[in-house]
Every structure is written in structure tokens, then in C-alpha cells.
Structure 1
């Protein structure tokens, strides 16, 4: 009985000492700073030109050419935007 009490007292003392031990301070991880895409890449694309019945064939072809140029420009900007996000995400993952 006396040995059991000594064993319990020793175990209790060990548990109390372990609970009082100091732990190192752990700094929380700093979230990554995400860069924003350039506003020229995120700008809205030009809308197609509205055609009217009174337009001549020449005006329609001129406006069609302007629409095609705007569409190509928009595609290039969106492709550059996708490249920007892919590059940024690869750098965050650490796989360039």
C-alpha cells in the first residue's frame, strides 16, 4: 500500500512538472502577399459595333475589321492574364 502511494505521488509529481515546462514561441506563418494583375490585363474588352440597315458595304467592312482587331487584342490580353496567374501561382508553390 505504501509503495502504491509513493508510486502515485511520484507519477503525479512527474505529470505536474511536465505540464509546467516552457514551450518555445511559435510564430504564425505569414500569408503570402499576392500581387494584383495589371489593370490593362483585366480591362473589359470592347463590345462589337452595332450595324444598322442604312450602312454601306464599305462602312460594314471597316467596322468588321475594327471588331476583328479588338477581338485579337482582347485574346492577347486574356492570354497574358492567364500567363500572369500561372506564373504567380507557380512562384507561390515554389515550382517555377
Structure 2
């Protein structure tokens, strides 16, 4: 019986070390610098009459720039929400 109690005491004392909780240091998340870039400005329009092709090209460049900025802003908003725990 004494041997059984001794074995139980040894087993339980060994379990105590497994029950300790280790706390890891917090990890600081960072928002990528690419998401923090300012949006590109509007396309400079020459002070002259433009051809239909030039108008279409400049309009497309503006729309593409706007789309890239909107996606980047969306990603930044999502990253901020995750960091804030929302």
C-alpha cells in the first residue's frame, strides 16, 4: 500500500509541471507599408483638344488608379479591423 501511495505521489508531482501555463510575449502585428501609400492623383489633362483615343486612355488610367486605391483602402480597413479585434 505504501508503494502505491508513493507512486501516486510521484506521478502527481510530475503532473504539476505539465499544468503550468507558459505565457508567450504578445506579437505586434504590422500593417504593410504598401497599404499606407497615398492614392495617386488624377491624370493631368493637357490644355489642348484631345482625340477620342486620348480621352479614352486618360479615362481608363484614372479608373484603374481609382480601383487600385479602393482595393488598397479596403485591405487597410480590413487589416485595421483585425488589429482592433472587430
TM-score tier, shorter chain, comes to: 0.5 to 0.7
d(CA) in 1 for partners of 2:62 and 2:77? Answer: 22
d(CA) in 2 for partners of 1:83 and 1:42? Answer: 13
Structure exhibiting the larger radius of gyration computed from Cα positions: 1
The residue that corresponds to 2:37 in the other structure is 43
Higher relative contact order by CA 8 Å / sep ≥ 6: 1 or 2? 2
Listed as ranges, the matches of 1:1-96 within 5 Å are: 34-52=28-46, 53-90=48-85
When the two chains are superposed, the root-mean-square deviation of aligned CA atoms in Å is 1.8
d(CA) in 1 for partners of 2:62 and 2:74? Answer: 18
The residue that corresponds to 2:21 in the other structure is none
> What stretches of structure 1 of length at least 5 have no aligned partner?
1-31, 91-95
Note the C-alpha offset of 1:55.
2.6
> What stretches of structure 2 of length at least 5 have no aligned partner?
1-25
Q: Name the TM-score, length of structure 2 as normaliser.
A: 0.61
1:46-79 per-residue CA deviation (whole Å, 9 max, x = no partner) reads: 1111112243221111111011011011001001
